[in-house]
Amino acid sequence: MANAMLQQTVGGTLQLLSNSGTHCNVGNRSVRLLPKGFKLEVEFPKRAIYSSGKRKFNVIQASTSQTSVVGPLLAPSSSDTLDSHMKSNEVALILIRHGESLWNEKNLFTGCVDVPLTNKGVEEAIEAGHRISNIPVDMIYTSSLIRAQMTAMLAMTQHRRKKVPIILHNEDERARAWSKIYSEDTIEQSIPVITSWKLNERMYGELQGLNKQETADKFGHEKVHEWRRSYDIPPPNGESLEMCAQRAVAYFRDNIEPQLLSGKNILISAHGNSLRSIIMYLDKLTSQEVITLELSTGIPMLYIFKEGKFIRRGSPVAPTEAGVYAYTRVCNFLSALLLICHGPV
Residue 9's CB is within 10 A of a number of other CB atoms, namely 9
- Distant-in-sequence, close-in-space partners of 175: CB < 8 Å, separation ≥ 6: 169
The DSSP bridge partners found for residue 8 are 14
State yes or no: 312 annotated in a binding site. no
Among 98, 159, 271, 342, the active-site one is 98
State yes or no: 272 annotated in a binding site. yes
Among 90, 127, 201, 239, the active-site one is 201
The residue type found at 210 is: L
State yes or no: 103 annotated in a binding site. yes
Rounded to 5 degrees, φ, ψ at 206 are -75, 0
Rounded to 5 degrees, φ, ψ at 286 are -85, 170
CA distance 331 to 59: 12
State yes or no: 104 annotated in a binding site. yes
State yes or no: 102 annotated in a binding site. yes
Q: Which of 19, 49, 14, 54 is closest to 34 using CA atoms?
A: 19
Active site residue 214: no
SS3 assignment, position 166 = strand
State yes or no: 273 annotated in a binding site. yes
Active site residue 171: no
State yes or no: 203 annotated in a binding site. yes
State yes or no: 147 annotated in a binding site. yes
State yes or no: 201 annotated in a binding site. yes
State yes or no: 170 annotated in a binding site. no
State yes or no: 97 annotated in a binding site. yes
Kind and range of the H or E run holding 161: none
State yes or no: 22 annotated in a binding site. no
Q: Which of 38, 53, 39, 40 is closest to 3 using CA atoms?
A: 53
Query: Where does residue 167 fall: left (phi above 0), alpha (psi -120 to 50 degrees), or beta otherwise?
Result: beta
CA distance 1 to 78: 17
Supply the DSSP string of 294-310, one letter for each residue. ---TT-EEEEEEETTEE
State yes or no: 204 annotated in a binding site. yes
State yes or no: 329 annotated in a binding site. no
Extract the runs of DSSP E, i.e. beta strands, from 171-220: 190-195
Residues with catalytic roles: 98, 201
Residues making up the annotated binding site for substrate are 97-104, 110-111, 147, 201-204, 212, 228-229, 272-273
Residues making up the annotated binding site are 97-104, 110-111, 147, 201-204, 212, 228-229, 272-273
